Every structure is written in C-alpha cells, then in structure tokens.
Amino acid sequence: MKYKGETNSLEIGENNVIREYVTINPGTKGGGEKTVIGNNCLLMISSHIAHDCHIGNNVVIANNVPLGGHVTIEDSVVIGGNSAVQQFTRIGRLAMIGGMTGV
C-alpha cells in the first residue's frame, strides 16, 4: 500500500487528551479514507493509532499501546499499558484489556 495522493482524513472529537509521542495515521483508500477518534478519550504516552482505526467515546489507551490498521474500539474501553492490538480487530463496549496483553 503506497500513498498516491488520494484524499484521506483524520477526525478527532472533543475533550481528548493526547500525550507525548503519540502517533496517529490518517485513513487510506482501501479502508474508507478516514481514521476517527471519538470524544473524551485519553491516549497516553507513545501509543500508536494506525490507519483506518475507529475509536469510540470515553476510551483510555495506556502507555506504549500500538493499534494495527482497521481496528475498531467501541465506547468506554480501557486498554492497559504495553498491550498490542492486531489489525482488523474489534474490541467491544466496556471491555477492559489487562496490561501486556496481545489482542
């Protein structure tokens, strides 16, 4: 997959806290061209949001958590530090993922 100048976007909601060294990639043509972060989320230090991810409202992503591409995280999810989420994964509403967990 290579960027060829196509339209893409990143939508970030209100009242989010995005800490140091967080990286967020915009969407890609193959994934709907949009990455979305809801409202009232906390993205802690060195977390990574890959292309075409959809993050709901009131989500906490702790330190050093990478999300692969096309991940969907529903509302009020907490992901513990040093966990990793594989691409094309859906995490349901109110889920709590313990630290150092592979999903």
CATH number for position 36 = 2.160.10.10
Q: Point out the residues that are catalytic.
A: 51-52, 69
Whether 78 is covered by a domain: the verdict is yes
Whether 50 is covered by a domain: the verdict is yes
Q: Are 17 and 35 in contact (CB under 8 A)?
A: no
Q: Give the chain's count of helices (H) and strands (E).
A: 0, 13
When divided into structural domains, the chain yields a total of 1
What is the domain extent for residue 42?
A: 9-97
pLDDT at position 39 is: 99
Beta bridge partners of 48: 23, 66
**Tokens matching residue 74:** 């529903």
pLDDT at position 30 is: 79
- Entry pTM: 0.94
Average pLDDT over residues 73-89: 98
Average pLDDT over residues 61-88: 98
pLDDT at position 29 is: 84
